[in-house]
A and B are shown apart, each in its own frame.
Chain A
Amino acid sequence: SQTIHQWPATLVQPVGSPLSLECTVEGTSNPNLYWYRQAAGRGLQLLFYSVGIGQISSEVPQNLSASRPQDRQFILSSKKLLLSDSGFYLCAWSVQSGDQPQHFGDGTRLSIL
């Protein structure tokens, strides 16, 4: 069966510091991968999605970036965090067909001080 791992679970970072969140998927090949952010009491905001190694689509212009160095690895990064980057970051995967459901990792709760 497929599993998705996301870490760390919680993170507290000062403003201006860098960020690296990692997500890996097991049990499937060539998945679609997604990064979402959820602000408190809000819906899911799609940040990036990837349909293959090195292929990244950005949905929201901001100080975040994403990379997919391996088929089942997805990384979310920032060079300098802003206060507004606080939130619950979720990685998700789906099979390649676009109309299939997405499955989420446990998420990273990021607090910026």
Chain B
Amino acid sequence: QKEVEQNSGPLSVPEGAIASLNCTYSDRGSQSFFWYRQYSGKSPELIMFIYSNGDKEDGRFTAQLNKASQYVSLLIRDSQPSDSATYLCAVNTGGFKTIFGAGTRLFVKA
């Protein structure tokens, strides 16, 4: 069974620090990788996607992909209390199916 694994957390970081969120996936043939942010009681919001090995930067967010290690991560620089949320890693395993991890809760302390 294809799986996406994330540490459930909570991950606690001080304001202004770098938050590092990690995700591993089981299907070596996966091609598309997404990070969503979900505030408590709200729906997931897409914040990053990455298709190629390496880093992709968007503002304070950097997604990192290593297909050989089946590992994708999200770095949040200059973390703010408003970044406190659950971050979902999602992997498209081919076709129309995307598998979501259970999410990592991030808490940014002011």
Instruction: List chain A positions with a Cβ less than 8 A from chain B.
Output: 32, 36, 41-44, 46, 49, 51, 57, 59, 90, 98-107, 109
Q: Out of A32, A49, A59, A106, which one reaches B43, CB within 8 Å?
A: A106
A46–B2 alpha-carbon span in the complex (Å): 13
Instruction: List chain B positions with a Cβ less than 8 A from chain A.
Output: 4, 31-32, 34, 41-46, 49, 51, 88, 90, 92, 94-98, 100-103
- Nearest first, the 8 closest Cβ-Cβ pairs linking A and B are A43-B102, A99-B32, A44-B100, A104-B43, A107-B43, A98-B96, A99-B92, A43-B100
A-B contacts, CB under 8 A, total: 51
Query: Can you list 7 pairs linking A and B with CB atoms under 8 Å apart?
Result: A44-B44, A51-B96, A57-B96, A90-B44, A99-B32, A101-B46, A106-B42
Q: Out of A57, A59, A98, A104, which one reaches B44, CB within 8 Å?
A: A104
